[in-house]
A and B are shown apart, each in its own frame.
Chain A
């Protein structure tokens, strides 16, 4: 049973515009959320995270928004750059647990 869902598997966006990736979760016990970025032939790398006590976390061009009541989070990339072309995974965990629950990923293509 998929506890973390990423719909819209692929997204194409013009360079300089905003990329928005969405993620929904079903387990209300999750209290920490992460986004990973993955290039082809490489392992995923951590991008940004957010605790459930916050509704927004910003790091440079990347911002994650959390709506706990809707069990929904989103990743905004502004402005998008060609180097942002990658697969993005959403992940969630209950604090103190050992296992991340991953979504299936979103392919982002930034067009120069």
Chain B
């Protein structure tokens, strides 16, 4: 049981290049999320998917697209990377197990550190 996995761990891009960040979870969770973490800014939600087949914008969606490929996988795509997208990206998932006390708990992956030059 690996939980939430993310690939790659590190990536360096040049401005204008594109790439896809991959995320997979093996906990049979319905909801999945993409966050970015920047110094002094906390965790900001980019996009989320409440269930397979649905996606919604978070607070900072500009410059990103997402795909909920199936229940396990949720990818984040940068079509034309910009230096402002240099950040650490976290994927998370949430299930409905564990009763009310754990209903809102999100499980996070280890992160992808992205640098755009």
- By a beta-carbon cutoff of 8 Å, the part of chain A in contact with chain B is 6, 9, 32, 34, 36, 41-46, 49, 51, 89, 93, 95, 98-100, 102-105
Contacts and interface: CB of A to CB of B under 8 A. Distances in A.
Contacts of A89: 42-43
Size band of the interface chain B makes with A: 20 to 34
B41 A100 contact: no
Nearest to B113: A41
Interface string B39-63: 0111111001010000010100000
Q: Which applies to chain A's interface (DSSP): helix, strand, loop or mixed?
A: loop
Contacts of B103: 32, 95
Interface of B: 4, 31, 40-45, 48, 50, 56, 58, 90, 92, 94, 100-111
B106 A100 contact: yes
B106 A103 contact: no
Contacts of B105: 34, 46, 49
Contact of B111 (A34, A43, A99): A43
Q: Report which residue of B43, B92, B105 has the largest number of chain A beta carbons within 10 angstroms of its beta carbon.
A: B43
A44 B90 contact: yes
A42 B109 CA distance: 8
B48 A98 contact: yes
